Structures are given as structure tokens and as C-alpha cells.
Amino acid sequence: MSLEHDKVWSNCLKLIKDNVNPQSFKTWFEPIKSIKVEDKVLTIQVPSQFFYEWLEEHYVTLLKKALEKELGPGSKLEYNIIVDNSANSNTRAYTINVPTRNTPYNNKNEVGAPLNVNANIHNPFIIPGLKKLNIDSQLNRNYTFDNFIEGDCNRLPRSAGFAVANKPGGTAFNPLMIFGGVGLGKTHLVHAIGNRIKEVSPNKSVLYVSSEKFVNQYVDSCKNGNNNDFLNFYQLLDVLIVDDVQFFAKKEKTQEIFFQIFNHLHQNNKQIIITSDRAPRDLKDLDERLLSRFKWGLSADLQTPDLETRINILEYKMYQDGIQLNSEIIEYLAHNIDSNIRELEGALISLLAQASLNRKDIDLELAKKMIKNFVKNASREISIEYIQKLVSDYYSLTVDQLKSKTRKREIVQARQISMYFAKQLTKAPLKKIGMHFGGRDHSTVIHACQTVNDLIDTDKKFRGDVEEISKRIKINTY
């Protein structure tokens, strides 16, 4: 007999799949395993505490609907959570009984999560009468959540950051580690978290510090013989934000003191937020003990922004500065500068500067000229999104249509041509190309390329189209 719970869950998944976007489905539902079903209670296993919280926060209604459809009214969901307790690194599962009611889930201790169970540890360093730290947080007020544009590239770290900001030390995301390449918004996001904490809980002592500054302070304190004060100060914080911890690499003494501070804060349910330009596993030359602690909470990465987010960011920045540019120029910028957000801002600023210096209106010509200088050194790569945009424009379709499931002939053909160019002109592997087209698999891409090659050989009109599109892609790129 095929397992009852598998059947129930796979039916639930069908309904869920129709109601969430493919990316979310892949991220949040594919990793779930069903465990058992008993008396209208389905037990599923999720990979982490965070997962569970996310599901409860974002999908509780949908889960309830799906479950009731399968098991009838009054059915319940139970979660098995795999807890990575790095200290003894065994994973163990424990069960939380969660009725799929639409109650906001907000108290972990109630359900017995084995996190932050530590009560008040007496701090021998606290000097009586000096319990409240009155410090300058070193936060940049200009970096807020309001002006941190949300997109697929940053949804996870942004919402985890927001959760932390509203309840520092009181979520499973401790430490919260945000990583990603340069210019993708790490510093902005952690300041936003800090600012939000000061807004919600003005009495909390929050400190933002770059790793470099931390190292220098520590070295100075050793020179001056007051490194105890240094330690003492940091241990009194409620929220410690350390930016760019990759800078600690090879600095063993600093790592050691940071390790002590980390442990102290963590034990006392104080929030720690760190950023790094790479994933924890790639942080070479960092003490294993420190690394394993970084993994206790949540590591979330900021990815390179997709086209839509880039356009949104540009539009937002223009709106803030009270400038208007026509959409053709914005799209041009967004298409051509796709590596990071700092560059995107830089391009916009230099475009404005050029225009005002030369007293010229900003038109596409100027934008093209400027971009050429701006990205001269960067090797230009054509992106899949860019190809999709040009091909869909050519056939008067939308990019969404290209990605859709539809089997209409002219859309299928445009989709295949886009895949063909993506294969020819980008370095993306087949799998990634497929992902860009609504999550199709690599064999679909191979098939598309074969079909296009065949048609080029046999269909004159088709060949003309392909040549024209190829020309457009190249003109607009170089």
C-alpha cells in the first residue's frame, strides 16, 4: 500500500503548488517530508526552526486549506523540526504540536524550542550602577527598511532581519548572518535592522561596528593595557552588529576575544548580527569554534538583484532625488549594469552629473555613452533576462508569457529562440537557463536549441527573425 501520509501530503502539495510561485514552492515546500498521518493529524518534517517559523508566518492559511481539503475539518498539522545543535552536532527532531489555526506564532518557548534557554547568568564584570549603556550606536540613519527595496534577491535576509529587529534576541535567528558580494546591500540592511531596533526598543543598547574598527580598538586596548574594559564594554550590549567579519581572518587574538564576547551575549539572549562577503563555509582562516557558532542561527545571502529589482531600485532612487528619466533609459541602465547595486547607483549619479555639467538633456544616447565609460573595464556579459526582454519585445509578448506554461505556437517559438540565445550568448549552464524560463529542466533547453537550429536550416522566415534578433541583442550590448 502506498503510504497514506505520502498520499495526503502530495495532494496537499498539488493545491499549494497552484497557489505559490515556483521559486517559493521549491524553497519552502519541496524540502518538506511527510512522516505520518493519524487521527486527522499530519506530521511533516522541516529542515529547521526557521523553516517552521517561515511556513507558519507566510503559509499557514494555505496549509490549513490544503489539509482540510484532504482530511476534513478539524485536521491538524504537526511539525518535526530537525535541530542542528552544533555543540554536539547531532541532529535531533522534536515535535511541535501546531494546530493549523490562523494564530500568529510568536512564542517559541511555549513550544519548547531548545534555544536560548539560558536564564540570567551573573556577569562578574558589571559594575553596580553602570548597568545601562549609553552609547552612540554608530548607525547611519539613512539606511532604513523603507528604502531597502525588496526583491527576490533579498527577500529572505530582509524578512529575517525585520523579524530580528522587532524582537532582538528573541527569535531563532541568533546570530543572524548576512552574506553576499560587494555592493549588494549588507551594510544597508544591518543598519536598517539597527535603526529599527532603536525605533521599537529605544532603551536597547545597539552598536554597529566594522570588523576593521573592532580589530583596531582591540589592538589599541591591548597596547594601553585596558583590554578588560574593551571586553566589558562589548559584553554589556543588547545588540552587536559586526560588519564584514571576513576581515577577522588570520587575526587569532581578535577572534579569541570576539569569541568570548559572542558567547557572553548569546548566553544572555542578546542579539548578534554579522555580515560577511562570503558564506560561512568559505570563511577560511577563521577559528572552527567561531564558525560553528555563526551557524547556530540563520545565515541568509543577498543575491545579485534581478532585472525587476534593479528597475525598482533605480526608480526609487530617482523618486527620492526628484529626478525623472524616461523608462527607456531606466531599462537601459538596469539591463546593462547587473552586477551590484552600488554600481547601479554610481551609474545613475554619473549620468546626472554628466547631464548637468554638459547642460544636456539625458537621452538614451548620453546614457549609452556614459555606460560605455562606466563599465569599460568590466567584461560585459549578456544576461538571460536581457535576451528574454529583447525577444519578447520583438514578438510583442511579455516576458511572463515567455516563462509561462502556455503551449501556444508563437509563444513556444519565442521561448525556444530565447533559450537558444541564452545558450549561445551566456555562460549559464542549461539548468540555470531552464530555471529562468519558469523552472523548466535542462532537457527542454536542449530540445529548444535543436529545434531552433533545425528551423534555421529549413525555414527562411524563421532564419530572418533569428538574424534580426541577434543583431538587436548585439547592437544594444556593445
Give the integer Cα–Cα distance in Å for 284 and 58.
Answer: 35
Grid cell 529587529 in the structure block, residue: 165
| Residue closer to Mg ion, measured from CB, 171 or 187 | 187
Cell readout for 191 is 543598519
Determine, following the binding rule CB under 6 A, whether residue 452 of this chain makes contact with ligand ADP: no
Residue (of 121, 20, 12, 110) closest to 70 by Cα position: 12
Closer by beta carbon to Mg ion, 186 or else 440: 186
Choices 83-91, 177-185, 220-228, 404-412; region in contact with ligand ADP by CB under 6 A: 177-185
- Which 302-361 residues touch Mg ion, going by CB under 5 A? none
Positions in 312-351 near ligand ADP (CB under 6 A): 313, 341-342, 345
Regarding 43 and contact with Mg ion (CB under 5 A), the answer is no
Which distant-in-sequence residues (6+ apart) come within 8 Å of 235 by Cβ?
A: 123, 125, 261, 264, 265
Secondary structure E strands in 259-350:
271-276, 298-301
Say whether residue 264 binds ligand ADP (CB under 6 A): no
Contact call for residue 196 and ligand ADP (CB under 6 A): no
Region 25-44 residues binding ligand ADP, contact defined as CB under 6 A? none
- Residue of 183, 280, 297, 434 that binds ligand ADP (CB under 6 A): 183
The reply on whether position 6 binds ligand ADP by CB under 6 A is: no
Q: Is 415 in the site for ligand ADP (CB under 6 A)?
A: no
Long-range CB contact pairs, 120-129, < 8 A, 24+: 120/268, 121/267, 121/268, 123/235, 123/264, 123/268, 125/228, 125/231, 125/232, 125/235, 125/236, 126/236
Backbone conformation region of residue 243, classed left if phi is above 0, alpha if psi is from -120 to 50, else beta: beta
> Which 3 state secondary structure label does DSSP give 378?
coil
Task: Identify the residue among 164, 184, 207, 240 touching ligand ADP (CB under 6 A).
Answer: 184
Site residues for Mg ion, window 161-200 (CB under 5 A)? Answer: 186-187
Contact positions with ligand ADP (CB under 6 A) in 130-149: 147-149
211 binds, among ligand ADP, Mg ion, none (CB under 5 to 8 A by kind): none
- What is d(CA 393, CA 386) in angstroms, rounded to the nearest whole number? 11
* 183 binds, options Mg ion, ligand ADP, none, Cβ within 5 to 8 A by partner type: ligand ADP
Residue 352 grid cell: 546626472
Decide: is 59 part of the binding site for ligand ADP (CB under 6 A).
no
Task: Give the largest CA-CA distance in the chain.
Answer: 87
Q: Examine residue 49 and tell whether it contacts ligand ADP (CB under 6 A).
A: no
Local structure of residue 182 (DSSP, 8 states): T
Q: Which is nearer to Mg ion, 38 or 212 (CB)?
A: 212
Q: Which amino acid is at 473?
A: I
The C-alpha cell of 127 is what?
559594575
Binding residues vs ligand ADP (CB under 6 A): 147-149, 154, 180, 182-188, 313, 341-342, 345
